[in-house]
Amino acid sequence: MSLNDFLTLLTAATIGLSCAILGCFLVLRKVVMVGDAISHSVLPGIAIAYIVSANFNSSLLLIGAAIFGVITTLIIDFFHKKLKLQEDASIGITFTWLFALGVIIITLFTESNTDLDQDCVLFGELSSSFLDKIIMNDYLIGTRSFWMIFPVFLIIVIFVVRGFKGLLLISFNEEYAKSKGIHVSMWNLIFMSLVSITTVMSFESVGAVLVVGLLVIPPATAYILSNDLKKMIFIACGLTLLACILGFYFSILIDVSMSSMVIVTCGMLFFSVLAYEKLKKMLKSKK
Amino acid sequence: MKDTLTYFLSDSVALKVLLGVIIIGATSGIVGTFSFLRKKTLVGDAIAHSLLPGICLGFLFTGTKDPIGLMFGALISGWISVWVIDYLVSKTKLSEDTAIAFVSTFFFAIGSVILSVISKSQNGNQSGLKDFLFGKAATMTNYDVNVFAVLSVLIIIMVTVFYKPFKMLAFNKEFAHAIGWNTKWIEFLLSTITVLTVAIGIQAVGIVLTSALLIAPSSAARYWTNNLVKMIIIAAFIGMFSGVIGVIISASQENMPTGPWIVFVLFLITLLTLLFSPQKGWFSIQKNQRENKRKISEENVLKIFYQLKESKIDQVSYSVFLEKRMMDTRDLSKTIQNLIHKKWLKKLNSDYSLTENGAVEASRVVRFHRLWELYLTKRMNFKEDHIHGTAETIEHLITPEIEKELLKELNFPLADPHNKEIPYE
C-alpha cells in the first residue's frame, strides 16, 4: 500500500467512524431522516461561510454548519409542533427549501466557476483527498481533509463517552429521560450540531447524499445484529472500517469513484448480514 | 413585469419551458396529495435518489439520451426501491425512516458508480445525464415537453379511473383490505404513478429538490380544505403557480437556477398557508383559543355571581368574589370589564351585581353544570364527590341541543345531586 493510499483510507475511515457513532443514535431514535435533512440543509451555511471567507479552510465553516444544523431542527419542529404539519412533510419541506436557498445563494454571489457547485455537493471525491498534503518541517503530517475531520471525530468520541448514560436514556425512552431531569432538547441540539458539523467536514470528500449512507447503513446493519447500544456502536465501527478497506480496493479494481464504492460496499455488507440472519432463523425454525 | 410577460408570450422556447413546468407542477401536486395523505412523502425523496442507477443503465443500454429509454430504466429502479423499502419495514426491525434513508443512499451510490463507469468509457457524452440530476427546466426541448405531456395525461387518467381505490388506500388501507380489495395491486399502481411523477419532476428541479414538488403543494392544500377532490385541485394549482413564478424569477436574471426558485416559491406558499389559512392556520387557531379562553372566564365569573346571589349576596366586591373562587386578579378585572361591556354586570359604587340579562346567562351556565352533575350520578353511576371537576369543563361545551336531550333524559329535574335547585328560565 502506498502512502497516498494510506492517507486516503485514513481520511475515509475517520469520516466513516464519526458517522457510524452518530448514526447509531439516529437509527435508535428513529430520526434518520432529520440527519438526512441536515446533511442537505447545511448548504446555505457552507455557501455563506465560503462567500465571507473565500475558502473552505475556516472555522467559519464549522460555525455556519452548526448554526444551520440547529436551524434545520428548529424549523422542522416549528412546522411539526407549532403549525401541526405531519412530520414527514415538515422534514421534506424544510430541507428542500434550505438546499434550494443554498443553491440560489451560490449562484447569486459567486461566479459560475467555483469549487462549490451542486456536483461537488452531491458527489464529493475521496480519492483526490491525498492531493492536499500538509507538510511541516519536512514531515508529512496528514492531509487537509484528515485534519478537518479528525478534531470532529475526537469531539464526537468524547461527547459519546462522557454523555453515554444520558444518550442511552434519551435514545430508548425520551419521556423517562425527561422525568429524570435530563435536558433532552439541549442534548438534541448539541447532537444535531455534531451531525451537521460532521456532514460539512465530509462534504468535499464524500458529498451530501453519500454521507447519509455512512450515517445510516453501518448502524442499521449493527442494529440488526444487536440490541445493545455499546455493542451496536462497536459493530457499526467495525463494519465501517471493513467497508472502507473493501470499497477502496473495489474502486481501484473497476476504476470508479471511491466514495460511492464505499457506500455500495456498506450496502452489500448489510444485505449479507440480513441474509445470514434470515438463514439462521430459517434453520432454527426447522429444528 | 410587462417585459417578462411579452418575452414569454413571444418566445416559443420560453413558452415551452412554461408549459413544461405547468405540466410537471400540476402532476406532482395531484400525485403528491396521495403520498401526503399516506404520510409517505419521504418515500418520494428515496425514489428520486433511486432513479439514478435506472437512468444510467437505461443510458448504457439504449446509448442515447432519449427520455423514453431513460424513463423506462427509471421506472424499474423506482419500483425496486419502493419494494425494498416495504420489505425492510415489514420484514426487519428497521423503522421506516431508516429504510428510506438506506435505500436512497444505497441506490444513489450504485448510480454514481455506474455514472463514473459511463464517464470513463464515453468521454463527455454523459453530459445529458447531469441534467437529470440537477434539473434542466430552463433548457427543456419540445420533445421533452411532449413526453411529459403524454405521461402526465396518462397519470391524470389513471388517478381519475382509480380514484376510489386510491382514496381508500390513503384513508383506510385496513378497511380496503378487509372488504376484499387487492391492496397490493392498488399500492403497486399508486407507486408506479409516483415513480413516473418523480421521474418527470427530477428533470425540472433535480434529484434533491423533487420531493418538494410532491410535498409542498399537498401540505398547503390540506390547510385549505377537508375534501379530497378539492385538495387535489388546489394542490395541482399551487404546483402550477409556483412553477410559473419560479420560471419567471429565474428568467429575469442571467444564470439563475430555475428548480431552486420553484422550490423557494413552493416553500413560501406553504409557510404563508400554514400561518394564515382561515380555518386551520396558526393565527386563526390562536384567535379561536383566545376567544374560547375569554368565554370560559366569563362564564366562570357569571356562575360565581349566580351562586353568591343564591346565598343572598347581591352586591359583590372583589374580596367577596375571591373568597368564593381564587382567580388571577388581573384576569378577573378584565373579565368583569368585558361583562360590563356586554351589559351582563353593572357597577354600583365599588361593588358589582348581575343585570337581568346577566342573570339569565348565568342561570344557563349553572343549569348546564347541575344537569351534567345529575346525569353523571344517575346514568353513569359516578359518586357525588367525583362529579364537580368534569362538570366544570363540560358546562362550557354543552349546546342547546345537548341540553334538550339531557332534560328529556332526566325528565326535567328540580335539584342536582347536592340538593341545589336547577334554575330554569
Report the CATH number at residue A101. Answer: 1.10.3470.10
| A31 close contact with B: CB closer than 8 A | yes
Which pLDDT does position B306 carry in this prediction? 87
| B289 close contact with A: CB closer than 8 A | no
Which residues, in sequence order, are bridge partners of residue A143? A133
Query: CB burial class (10 A; 0-12, 13-18, 19+) of residue A226?
Result: middle
Nearest to A103 among B41, B100, B257 (CB): B257
Q: Which residues of chain B have pLDDT under 70?
A: 1-10, 65, 122-134, 425
| B369 close contact with A: CB closer than 8 A | no
| B117 close contact with A: CB closer than 8 A | yes
The span from the CA of A213 to the CA of A239, in Å, is 13
The phi, psi pair for B394, rounded to 5°, reads: -70, -25
CATH 1.10.10.10 domain locations along chain B: 281-425
Residue of A nearest to B216 (CA): A93
Mean pLDDT of chain A: 85
Count up the domains in chain A and report the number: 1
Which residue range is the domain that position A57 belongs to? 3-207
Q: Which residues contact B276 (CB under 8 A, 6 or more apart)?
A: B282, B283, B284
Residue of A nearest to B84 (CA): A271
Max CA pair span of chain B: 99
Give contacts of A 246-275 with B, CB under 8 A. Answer: 254-257, 260-261, 263-264, 266-267, 270, 274
DSSP class per residue in B31-98: HHHHHHHTT-HHHHHHHHHHHHHHHHHHHHHH-S--HHHHHHHHHHHHHHHHHHHHHHHHHSS--HHH
Q: What is the pLDDT along chain A (287 residues), one digit of tens a residue?
A: 677 788 888 888 999 999 999 999 999 988 999 999 998 888 888 888 877 776 655 677 778 888 888 899 999 999 999 898 999 999 999 999 999 998 888 888 766 544 455 565 666 666 566 666 666 666 666 677 788 888 889 999 999 999 898 888 888 888 888 888 888 888 888 898 899 888 888 777 787 778 999 999 999 999 999 989 999 999 999 999 999 999 999 988 988 888 889 999 999 999 999 999 999 989 988 77
Residue A240 domain flag: no
A96 and B209 within 8 Å at the Cβ level: the answer is yes
A93 and B216 within 8 Å at the Cβ level: the answer is yes
A86 and B257 within 8 Å at the Cβ level: the answer is no
Q: What is the CATH number of domain B2-277?
A: 1.10.3470.10
Residue of A nearest to B135 (CA): A118
| B263 close contact with A: CB closer than 8 A | yes
Which pLDDT does position B354 carry in this prediction? 86
CATH label, B281-425, candidates 3.40.50.970, 1.10.10.10, 3.30.930.10, 3.90.1200.10: 1.10.10.10
DSSP class per residue in chain A: --HHHHHHHHHHHHHHHHHHHHHHHHHHTT-HHHHHHHHHHTHHHHHHHHHHHSSS-SHHHHHHHHHHHHHHHHHHHIIIIIS---HHHHHHHHHHHHHHHHHHHHHHHS-S-SS-SHHHHHT--GGGGGGSEEEETTEEEEEHHHHHHHHHHHHHHHHHHHTHHHHHHHHH-HHHHHHTT--HHHHHHHHHHHHHHHHHHHHHHH-HHHHHHHHHHHHHHHHHH-S-HHHHHHHHHHHHHHHHHHHHHHHHHTT--HHHHHHHHHHHHHHHHHHHHHHHHHHHHH-
Nearest to A100 among B97, B209, B280 (CB): B209
Nearest to A83 among B113, B215, B282 (CB): B282
User: What residues of chain A lie within 8 A of the CB of B265, using their CB?
Assistant: none
State the nearest Cα–Cα gap between A109 and chain B, in angstroms.
Answer: 11
Residue A177 domain flag: yes
A209 and B45 within 8 Å at the Cβ level: the answer is no
User: What residues of chain B lie within 8 A of the CB of A92, using their CB?
Assistant: 41-42, 44-45, 211-212, 214-216
Residue of B nearest to A261 (CA): B113
The residue among B94, B103, B272, B284 with the most chain A CBs within 10 A of its CB, best to mutate, is B94
Dihedral sign for Cα atoms in the order A100, A105, A110, A116: negative
Which pLDDT does position B235 carry in this prediction? 97
Name the nearest CA neighbour of B41 among B218, B276, B173: B218
| A22 close contact with B: CB closer than 8 A | no
Q: What is the pLDDT of residues B174-206, one digit of tens each?
A: 888 898 888 889 999 999 999 999 988 888 888
B97 and A30 within 8 Å at the Cβ level: the answer is yes
Give contacts of A 130-189 with B, CB under 8 A. Answer: none
Which pLDDT does position A218 carry in this prediction? 96
State the nearest Cα–Cα gap between A116 and chain B, in angstroms.
Answer: 14
Nearest to B105 among A91, A209, A256 (CB): A209
CATH 1.10.3470.10 domain locations along chain B: 2-277
- What interface predicted TM-score (ipTM) does this complex get? 0.91
Which pLDDT does position A113 carry in this prediction? 46
Which pLDDT does position B123 carry in this prediction? 52
Nearest to B282 among A82, A92, A112 (CB): A82
Which pLDDT does position A55 carry in this prediction? 61
The span from the CA of A274 to the CA of A221, in Å, is 8
B102 and A122 within 8 Å at the Cβ level: the answer is no
B256 and A107 within 8 Å at the Cβ level: the answer is yes
B105 and A210 within 8 Å at the Cβ level: the answer is yes
Whether the CB-CB separation of B215 and A89 falls below 8 Å is answered with yes
The residue among B35, B49, B97 with the most chain A CBs within 10 A of its CB, best to mutate, is B97
Residue A271 domain flag: no
B206 and A118 within 8 Å at the Cβ level: the answer is yes
Whether the CB-CB separation of B166 and B159 falls below 8 Å is answered with yes
Nearest to A123 among B42, B101, B112 (CB): B112
